[in-house]
Amino acid sequence: MTATKNKKKYALALSVLGAIVGFGGFWYVAAAPGLPFVPQQKSVSVMFLGDIMLDRKVAKMAAARGVDSLFASSTELFTQTDLRVANLEGAVTDNASIAQVDNTVLRFTFDPALAKQVLTSLNLSAVSLANNHAYDFGKSGYAQSREYLSEWGIGAFGHPYNTAGHLSTKLTARGKTICLVGFMQLYVTGTSTVTSEIQTLRPECDKIVVFPHWGDEYTHEPTGSQVAAAHAFIDAGADMVVGAHPHVVQPLEIYRGKPIVYSLGNAMFDQNFSWDTTHGLAVRLDFYPNKTDLTFIPLTIEDERLRVATGAARDRVLGQVGVAVATVTLP
C-alpha cells in the first residue's frame, strides 16, 4: 500500500476517534454511562522530535539573544513526558565552526558549551547520531560527540554507516525498558544490521522504536525504500518507526498494527526558506500494557524560536500527517 493511500485511509479512519484529555499526569477515559471519568495511570511516555541543528544561524542567534531564546516558548514539550528523544543533526566537537563563516559549507559542529546548555535544559534522554552530519568531522568528531553526550548523561544511538556496536541504547522509566535503534539509509541501504539488532534486543525491551534517517529532502511522500525499510523493521519486531531527514513532515502509516511516522521535519533549524521547513512535528507516545496512544504536536520555528503551532498552522501540519485528530489510540 502506498503512503498516499495510507494517508487518505487513516485520515478517514482516525476521524472517528475522539481526543483524549490529559490532566496532572493521568489520561482520562470515559467510564460506563452514569459513572464519573476514571483516571488511568500511564505506563511510560516518550516524546520524539526531529532534527536539531545548533550551528550556523542557530548558533549566531543563541549568542545574540541568549541560548534560552531558542526553546523558551516550547518548554512544556520537555517537561511532561518520562523520556525525550531527538535527532542531533551534527557533531559536538572542539573544532571551530565552518558553517558560521560560510553557510554554503554544510559541515556542522556544535560548540560544546552551547550544546550542553541546550540539550540538558531540554532534558533530552537520548539523541540519534544516525545521520549524514554526525561524521562531518570524521571518526574523531563522532567519538567526541559520544563522549560529550555521555558526560552530560544523554544516551546516544545510531551511526552514519550503521556500524554494529553503536546502533542502539536502552532507556528506563517507570520500570519499563524502551530500546532505541538508529538507522541511516543514505550511505548504506541494506537493513540487515538493524533488523538483527532489533531481533537481538527484542527479549530485553518492553518497546523498541527505530529512528531512521532516510528519504528525499523537502518531499512530503516517503520513497519506496523508506516504506520497505519501515516494514522490515516492524516485521523484525519493532513497535514503532519514527523518521527524520526530509526536513518536512511526512505521513503516518499503520502497518501490522504498528505506527510509522515517516518524517517529523525540523525541531530547530535555520531553514527559513519555506513554510514546510519551518513547521515540524513532535510525537508523544504513551505506552500502556494493552494499547498505545500517539499524540501529534505540530511545531513552528520562527526566527530560530520553537513553539507549539496553533490554529491554521496546526491543522495544516496534522493534514500532512494524515490525521483528523491530534490523539490516536492503537491496540
Reduce the secondary structure of 109-173 to three states and give it as a string: EECHHHHHHHHHHCCCCEEECCCCCCCCCHHHHHHHHHHHHHHCCCEEECCCCCCCCCCEEEEEE
User: CATH number for the domain including 132?
Assistant: 3.60.21.10
The reported pLDDT for the residue numbered 43 is 82
Burial (CB count within 10 angstroms: exposed 0-12, middle 13-18, buried 19+), residue 32: exposed
Taking alpha carbons only, the member of 299, 301, 292 closest to residue 268 is 301
The reported pLDDT for the residue numbered 305 is 98
Instruction: List Cβ neighbours of 58 (8 Å cut-off, separation of 6 or more).
Output: 70, 268, 269, 270, 304
Q: What pLDDT, in 10s, does the model give residues 129-181?
A: 999 999 999 999 999 999 999 999 999 999 999 999 999 999 999 999 999 99
The domain total for the chain is 1
Q: What pLDDT, in 10s, does the model give residues 183-194?
A: 999 998 899 999
Taking alpha carbons only, the member of 266, 282, 280 closest to residue 47 is 282
Structural domain that includes position 259: 3-330
pLDDT at 35 over 70: no
pLDDT at 38 over 90: no
Average pLDDT over residues 304-329: 96
Q: For the CA atoms of 166, 201, 291, 225, what is the dihedral angle to 10 degrees?
A: 60
pLDDT at 8 over 60: no
| Phi, psi torsion values for 185, nearest 5 degrees | -95, -15
The reported pLDDT for the residue numbered 30 is 36
40: confidence class by pLDDT, cuts 50, 70, 90: low
pTM listed for this prediction: 0.88
pLDDT at 269 over 50: yes
CA distance 44 to 205: 13
One DSSP character per residue, 22-71 reads: EETTEEEE--STTSPPEEEE-SEEEEEEEEE--SHHHHHHHHHH-GGGGT
pLDDT at 37 over 70: no
CA distance 135 to 225: 23
Average pLDDT over residues 88-116: 97
The reported pLDDT for the residue numbered 16 is 32
Q: What pLDDT, in 10s, does the model give residues 193-247?
A: 999 999 999 999 999 999 999 999 999 999 999 999 999 999 999 999 999 999 9
The reported pLDDT for the residue numbered 122 is 96
Instruction: List Cβ neighbours of 200 (8 Å cut-off, separation of 6 or more).
Output: none
98: confidence class by pLDDT, cuts 50, 70, 90: very high
41: confidence class by pLDDT, cuts 50, 70, 90: low
Instruction: List Cβ neighbours of 254 (8 Å cut-off, separation of 6 or more).
Output: 6, 10, 260, 330
Burial (CB count within 10 angstroms: exposed 0-12, middle 13-18, buried 19+), residue 62: buried
Q: What pLDDT, in 10s, does the model give residues 42-76?
A: 689 999 999 999 999 999 999 999 999 999 999 98
pLDDT at 311 over 50: yes
CB 204 within 8 A of CB 152: no
308: confidence class by pLDDT, cuts 50, 70, 90: very high
Per-chain mean pLDDT for the chain: 90
